[in-house]
Structures are given as C-alpha cells and as structure tokens.
Structure 1
C-alpha cells in the first residue's frame, strides 16, 4: 500500500462513534423502535387471548397447545435462517420482507376455521417475526455511537416490551367488543403500515464495509450522513483496527475466539427465552384456571407490570457501561426467581403484594433479557452480528418449544399454582449461574474490551 493510499484510510467505526447524536441517529432509533414495538405485539398477544381463541374455535385452552408449539417452532426456524440472510444481503431488505409476510399471514389468520389452520399460519408467521429483534438490534447498534449504544438498544427494547403492553390493552378493552380476531387484525395492519418507514433510514455502514470495503455506495452514504466528512475519492474503508473481517463469516463464532462465549450464550437464551415463552403463553391461563383471576383483569395487572419491565430495561441500559454487566445481570435473575415463585403464594385478588410481585418480575425478566441481548450484540463483530444474536435467539426459541409444552403438561395434570410457579423459578436461578460463569470466563470484558463509563 502506498503512503498516499494509507493517508486515505477512512475508519467508518470512528466516524460513527465520534458523531454527535443528531436527527439521523434519532430517526434510526424511532424506526427500529417502531418495528420492535410491532414485533412485541405480535409475539405476545396470542398468550393473552388464548382462552378466548380456544372458545371461539369451539375448544378448550389445552387444544391451543399445537398452535403455541407451531408458533415457537416457526420462531426457532426463523431465528436460524433470517439473520444470516441479513448478514449477507443487508438489514433493511430482510426487515422489509419480515414485515410484509407476517403482516399478510396475520390478516389471513382472522379467517381461521380450526386449530390446525391457525397452527400452520402462526408457525409460518413465526419464521418472520422472530427475526425482527436480532436484525433490528444489529442495525441500531451499527448506526449508533458507542457511548450511547447500550442506552439506545435499551430504549428500543422498551418499545418491544411496549408491544406487550399494547397487547394487554387490546385484551382488556377490545377483546369483548371485537372478539378474538382483533389480535390478528391489529397484528396484520401494523406491520404493513410500518413498511414505508424503512425508506427513512440508511442501510448499516458496518454491514457494507464488512461485506465489501470497495462498495461504491459507502462514500455517498457517509456524505449523506455528514456532508463535511473528509471524503475525497479513493478512500480505503475499514472498521476500527480490524482490517479484515473474519474469513469464516458467521461460522467464526464457533472458532477458538468465540466458541465458549457462543455456547454459554446459547444456554442462557435456551433457559431465558424458554421461560419467557412459557409465562407469556400460559401464565394468563394459569391465573384464570387455578387462581380465579379473569383474563381481562389479569391483562390489566400485566399492563401495570409492564412499567416494571420498562424500568428494568432502561436501568439495565444505563448501568451496563457503568458497572460489571455480568454481576448486574446475575443479580437481576436471582431476584427474578424470587418474584416468580412468590406469584404462586400471594393472594391473587386486588392485593398490592401480588401486583408488586408482577412489577418486580417484569423488571428483572425484561431487564435481564435486555442485558443478555446487549451481551450478544456487543460481543460479535458486524459480519456475524445478526447471525450471532439470531442463532442465540434460535436456541432460545427451541427452549420456547420445550417450556410451553411442559406448560401444557402442567395444565393437563392440574398441578397446584404454587408448585407450577416454584418449578418455573428454577430456570431463572440457572440463568444467573450461567451469566456468572460467562463473566468469569470473559474476565468482565465484552467483545474484548473493558466496560468504560459513558460520557455525560
């Protein structure tokens, strides 16, 4: 390389990290947050109205078991297939494909005539909406300055949880008026309406540089972000001190540098997302069938609990760059286990203690999962980032097949609510132990760097 060429090296990572937070960064945050909100709504509304769907289709909640299972299988398949596609052709086109397909399939589900038809439609939909979270987080992390990256991802994840809240509001206020079909109507209209928003944001620069540093679209994209950028022509684009991406691409996560981290993250996601799927799909039914809490009443309780999840997510985002993230996440899941177990023993009437336990559970579960997502996002380089997050999530979706199936078994065995909640608390303790182990292995580092305090 000549001296002149060396002088024209352009560090895209530094360009992104040194930028102030401006309209373009805010727009990326808004669009990704909107997409994740829709994803959260579609992912969680089914569990909230599950008894109503079963009744509408002429069955009982147990008959919805295949629907839940097919949805989780589809989500697992999508988590393995779609993120690598985003690492190959780009974040935006894959996000657009996902919005389009699961929007259409959700509207189709309105016309379901039986459990089998609904199971197939939810299974295929799951392939597409399960990919929204890892791809959206990858895009946001790659277009946000490092000093605000964890915070921005936490804000987007609050909006993902906001979709959960919106599904609760739909259950509490619209279900009796419009019937079980309202969930699928809103779940179809929202993604289709959001499609044009993707035109407002750029493709990830990190993706373009790691795919092809000579891509002629890189320089115009940089100048569109900052017209004063020192682009003169002939620059050699690179990401930080990494001149070459991993030659194995996504498969490098199984190499010696990332292998142990990958295995531990997969185990973490198996238990964490499995437990989330179990509680999201069956907790309202448990509370109605065994705790005597009407479905609409419990939906209101869960709406209150959402604010605990939002607080837990934002707190996690603020603290992750200020304290050791591994010990922080471990603490979250220990408290999470206590809160889950307490739900089986506290009075389920309009009692402050029960609602407080729901708030604490949401604070720790949602905030703790935010921490796990951030560990996965920050722990892999761009050429494997969507795949790294997505495949960890895919293993989690396998847990999302196993755990809800056990939930059906518990329902059919008519186990006491106290026993079910005690058993459900155990995975949270396992998660805490795994996060602690990952912290010991990584010596408190994420992606090979120490966590430094953020600038004010």
Structure 2
C-alpha cells in the first residue's frame, strides 16, 4: 500500500483504495452503515408519508384530493432541483456537511408544514424541503460506498436501501395505527422533529477518505484518520495518498461524466432513472388515492397492505445486493423490471377486495420495484470515480426527479378525468418495460461489468 524510494528521497505513497478494500469490516464500518441507514430511513419516511395521507390532508385543508396536485408537483420539482445542486456540493465540501445541512433544513420545513393553512403554503414548504431530502440518498450512498470494503459494498448499500424503504414501512404503520389520533399534522411533526434530533448521529462517523484523497492527496487529516482506524499503519509525515489505479482526477469535476469515457453510460443511466423514479413517484403519491377513489379501498387498509408489501421490497433489495456481487448485474436488473411490469398490470386487474391475490401482487410489485431501483442506485453509485460519485448518482436521480414531476402530473390528470383503474395501471406498466430495455442496453455497452470497459479504472 505504501512505498518510498529511500535512495532518492522520493515522497512515500499510500494506496487508500487498497487499504479500504483489504480492511476487515469493523466497528467503524458498522457504525457508518447503521448511521447512514438511520438517515435514509428518515429520508424515506418524509418522502413517502405524504402520498399515504393525501386525501386526509386535502380534507383537513377544506378541499378534495385533486387540490393536492400542486403540493405533489412542487415537492417533485424541489426534489429534482436538489438532486442536481446538492450532490456536486457534497463532492466539493464533503459528504457529512451536506448530510447535516439536509437534515437541518428539511426537518425544520417539515415541522413548519404541520401549521400550513392552505394548499399553496403547503406546496411551497414541501417544494423547498424537497430540495434537501432528495439529496440525502445519493450523498449517503456515496459516503457508505467509500467507507466499505469492495467485497461487502453492494450488500451494505442494499441494507441501507432496505432502511430507506423502511421509512416507507414506518409511515404505513403510522397511518394504519395512528391517523385518527395524530391527524395529518402529526405526521409532519414527527417527520420534522426526528431528523433534527438525528443530527447528533453524524458526530460518530468519519468523513469519506476517498473524498479527502481526491480533494488533496497530501491532506494531513488523511493520515490522522488512517491511524485512528489502525494505529499499526506506519506513515511518513510527507506521505502522498492516492486511490489505486484510478485515473487522474478530472479538472472538469462532475462534467467529466459527459466526456467520451462516460458519455453513453451517463445518457442511458439518466434515461432509465427518468422512467424508474417517475413511475415510483406516480405510484407513491397516487396509488392510495387511485384505490381509494376508484376501488373503495380505505386509506387504513391500503396502509396495512403496504406494511405487508414492504417485506417484498426488503427481500427484493437484499436479494439484489447479494446477487449483484455474484452475477451479471444488468441481466439481473432487467429481469426485475420485467416482473415489475407484470405486477403493476396485475394491480389494475385484481379487485382489492380479493385480499390474498391483491396483496400477493402488491408484494411481488414491491419486490421487483424496490429491488430493481436498488440495482439502479448501485449502478449509478459504483459506475463513477469518487470525485464525481455523489454527482453521478445525484444527477441520475435528478433526471429521475424530472420523471417524478411529469409522471405524477399525469397521475393528477388521470385522477381528475376519473380514468378506469384498469387503464391507469396498464399504462403505468409500460415504463417498467422501457426500463428493462434500457438496462439491457447499458449492459451491452459496458460489457456486463459495472462501469464497463471505459470505467474499469474508476
């Protein structure tokens, strides 16, 4: 890992990538996993609870479900803006400061939203909050991936993403058990106070070594951090740190992902995220309302069904993380989204009153959708080098958030037009097939390897 030419007095060099990959998983790696998982759980809770109680909020503000369309749209616009501007900031100033900023701002604005008095006020608060909570997933995954040995990287990221989905589960349990007692305002209070309290957790994990090396390979804080992890490592005072066989850090920063080395990969990743996150946003914000309005399924019953469905999503995520290290990831993700399309179509054909069949379709849909998105997140995170890693997954997510603006807007139109549920779900299944085709194409371009031939040194 380290080398020095004593006869010439050349500067000692230390390979941080090799050091991280050869370390056993210890208490620091576990602590980073736990804390990033908690942060992503809170992010998932705030991102998904709105859709589950949308009709209740509308009623509380004196309107109907259709009146909530601007709130949903503003939230998605904010999330798109945040996905483009916040991850590059994390690549510039660090992962931990940006996570702290996001927790502080979206927690405060979510708490404020509990006292919203109009749809316009709520739309503005959710729009601005969306800028900050949309960035936590890419930045958190970048920090975790850069702190974990390569052989456990996909699995650890998948565990964190299970916890992100766990926020969805937590909001479902709260709706099922406490909606009448807490009212819609109680969800915003919980969603605001807990992230503010969670700021303390960030004190217990270190900044990414990969980030520090790519910012300044002679930063003395790198040696200090390595010695804290392993006091037995011998480092000279003038050691220069580097990241394995990674190519020279591009002077263009995140814009390098549009250069010849990454261009085709970037275009395909952005396109498949547009369809994937667009579909997720549509169903997260409107599926409960579609079933409530067009199939007479109560919000509490839907929330209970989603609690069961969560275990499908958790299973899909863990299976994805385990298999990605063992087989061609592109063909695996392609298969997930073919199953996703079939499950979405089935949700429009099976009456919710046929509980066993409907819940089975819901579990399969969660397995395929959540697990498939986990695969996409892992691809977007691991396909770029550290100097653009947050930006890579963040900007891919940003294009996904553009889909998250367009698709829910179409959902609002379908709700206003009272389209049959069967037609809505049939049309919604089509993007899942488009995603499968795009992932397959990305696999061909990259030769079945994450990052592909062009990204082999990343």
TM-score using structure 2 length:
0.97
Does 1:396 pair with 2:400? yes
Structure 1 CA distance for aligned equivalents of residues 347 and 72 of structure 2: 23
Does 1:144 pair with 2:141? no
Match of 1:376 in 2: 380
Contact 1:39 1:163 in 2 (8 A): yes
* C-alpha distance after superposition, 1:400-427 (max 9, x if no partner): 0000000001011111100000000000
Tell me how many residue pairs correspond in the alignment.
452
Contact 1:91 1:135 in 2 (8 A): yes
Structure 2 SS opposite 1:231 = coil
Structure 2 CA distance for aligned equivalents of residues 362 and 249 of structure 1: 36
Match of 1:186 in 2: 190
Structure 2 SS opposite 1:10 = strand
Structure 2 CA distance for aligned equivalents of residues 451 and 330 of structure 1: 21
Does 1:302 pair with 2:306? yes
* C-alpha distance after superposition, 1:107-141 (max 9, x if no partner): 10011000000000000000000000000000000
Structure 1 CA distance for aligned equivalents of residues 387 and 112 of structure 2: 36
Contact 1:324 1:451 in 2 (8 A): no
Structure 1 CA distance for aligned equivalents of residues 247 and 83 of structure 2: 29
Does 1:41 pair with 2:56? no
Name the CA shift for 1:69/1:351 in 2 (closer, same or farther; >3 Å).
same
Structure 1 residue corresponding to 2:217, chosen from 209, 213, 220: 213
Deviation at 1:9, TM superposition (A): 1.1
Runs of 4+ in 1 over 4 A off after TM superposition: 449-452
Contact 1:326 1:436 in 2 (8 A): yes
Structure 1 SS opposite 2:220 = coil
TM-score using structure 1 length:
0.97
Match of 1:73 in 2: 77
Q: CA RMSD in A?
A: 1.5
* C-alpha distance after superposition, 1:294-325 (max 9, x if no partner): 01000000110000000000000000011100
Deviation at 1:448, TM superposition (A): 3.9
* C-alpha distance after superposition, 1:43-89 (max 9, x if no partner): 00000000000000000000000000000000000000000000000
Deviation at 1:235, TM superposition (A): 1.0
Match of 1:175 in 2: 179
Deviation at 1:449, TM superposition (A): 6.6
Match of 2:64 in 1: 60
Structure 2 CA distance for aligned equivalents of residues 157 and 35 of structure 1: 11
Structure 1 SS opposite 2:349 = coil
Structure 2 SS opposite 1:409 = helix
Structure 1 CA distance for aligned equivalents of residues 244 and 373 of structure 2: 28
Alignment map for 1:334-413 (pairs within 5 Å) = 334-413=338-417
Deviation at 1:193, TM superposition (A): 1.1
Structure 1 CA distance for aligned equivalents of residues 291 and 234 of structure 2: 61
Name the CA shift for 1:154/1:6 in 2 (closer, same or farther; >3 Å).
farther
Match of 1:222 in 2: 226
Deviation at 1:244, TM superposition (A): 2.3
Structure 1 residue corresponding to 2:281, chosen from 277, 283, 297: 277
Q: Which runs of 5+ in 1 are unaligned?
A: none
Contact 1:174 1:182 in 2 (8 A): no
Structure 1 CA distance for aligned equivalents of residues 262 and 29 of structure 2: 30
Structure 1 SS opposite 2:238 = coil
Alignment map for 1:77-156 (pairs within 5 Å) = 77-156=81-160
Structure 1 CA distance for aligned equivalents of residues 156 and 437 of structure 2: 27
